[in-house]
Amino acid sequence: MERAFVIFVAILLQTTAAVAQDKGGAGMESPFLALDRKRPEQPARSNDLLSYAPGPPARERSIPDAEAAAACKALLADASIVTTPHAAISGEGGCGIAAPITLEAVLLPDKRRIEIAPAPVMRCDLAARFGAFVRETIAPVTASLGRKVKRVITADAYDCRNRNRQADANPSEHATGAAIDLAAIEFVDGSVMRVTDKARDPTIAISLRQSACARFSTVLGPGSDGYHEDHVHLDLARRRGGAKICQWALK
C-alpha cells in the first residue's frame, strides 16, 4: 500500500512539472495570487479613517424596477420629505438607479419646509437618510444658536462618473445615486454658511461632523484627499463588516 502511494505521488509530481513546462516554464500560478492582483489598492490610513474594507458597490439596479419602486414608496411613506419619483435610470459601466427620486424639501416637526437646492436626483434610501440628517441635526443645531434654515444647498448627487472624475478610478457612489455632496446652508435672514468654512461656528461644525459620520458610510471633507475642500461628500457605500470612512478635518 505504501509503495503504491509513493508511485502515485511521483506520477502526480511529474504531471505537474510537465504542465508547467508546456506553459513556457512559468510554473502553475495559485488562483489566490490571481485574485489578490484584482483587489483595489488600500487607501492611506489616517486618524480620521475609522476602517476600510473594499466590498461590493451598491447596485440598486439589480432589483426589478417595479419591486424597487414599491420598496422606495414604503421607505418614504413616513420620511417627512417631499420627493418626485422618476422612471428608472440606466447607463454604461453600472450607472443607474432602479427607482430614482428628486429630493425637493424636508419637512420639520413644526411643518416648516426646508428646500433642497438644486433638488438632487438620488436613491430613495439616501433621500430618507439625508432628510433625517437635515431634520434631526442641521435644523435643530442651527436653531439652538438663533438661526433658522431656509435652504440646504447641494453640489452634486446622481452622476454617472468615476471617483473624483478620474478616468482610471473606480465608479463613484454618485454613479448609483448613493451619494450627495453638501455645500452650504442658507438661513431665513439671507445669510449663507458654507459647511467647509473654517470661520463657521465650531458648535455647528462639530455637530454636523459627528452626526454625518454616524449616519453615512463615507464622509469626505476638507483634509481628506484634496478633492473635497469646498464641500462634504456623503454616501451609503456598502463595505464588509459595515466599515465606515470619516475624513473631515475641522481645524
Report domain extents, the chain.
Answer: 2-32, 47-247
pLDDT per position as a tens digit, 159-197: 999 888 888 888 899 999 999 999 999 999 999 999 998
Cα separation, 197 vs 55, in Å, equals: 33
143: three-class secondary structure by DSSP? helix
pLDDT per position as a tens digit, 103-155: 999 999 999 999 999 999 999 999 999 999 999 999 999 999 999 999 999 99
Of all helices (H) and strands (E), which one includes residue 105?
strand 101-107
Question: In this prediction, what percent of the chain has a pLDDT beyond 90?
Answer: 58
Backbone φ, ψ for residue 234 (5° rounding): -125, 130
pTM exceeding the 0.95 threshold for the entire prediction: no
pLDDT band at 64 (very low <50, low <70, confident <90, very high): low
Query: For residue 246, how far is the Cα from the chain centroid?
Result: 11
Q: At residue 190, what is the residue type? A: G
pLDDT band at 215 (very low <50, low <70, confident <90, very high): very high
Question: For residue 162, what is the DSSP state?
Answer: B
Q: Locate cell 442641521: which residue?
A: 138
pLDDT per position as a tens digit, 11-63: 444 444 443 444 343 333 322 222 232 323 333 333 333 332 333 333 334 44
Q: What integer best gives the mean pLDDT of the chain? A: 79
Cα within 13 Å of Cα(46), Cβ side: 14
pLDDT per position as a tens digit, 65-97: 778 888 898 888 888 999 999 999 998 888 999
Question: For residue 171, what is the DSSP state?
Answer: B
Q: What is the pLDDT of residue 164?
A: 81
Residue 137 has which C-alpha cell? 441635526
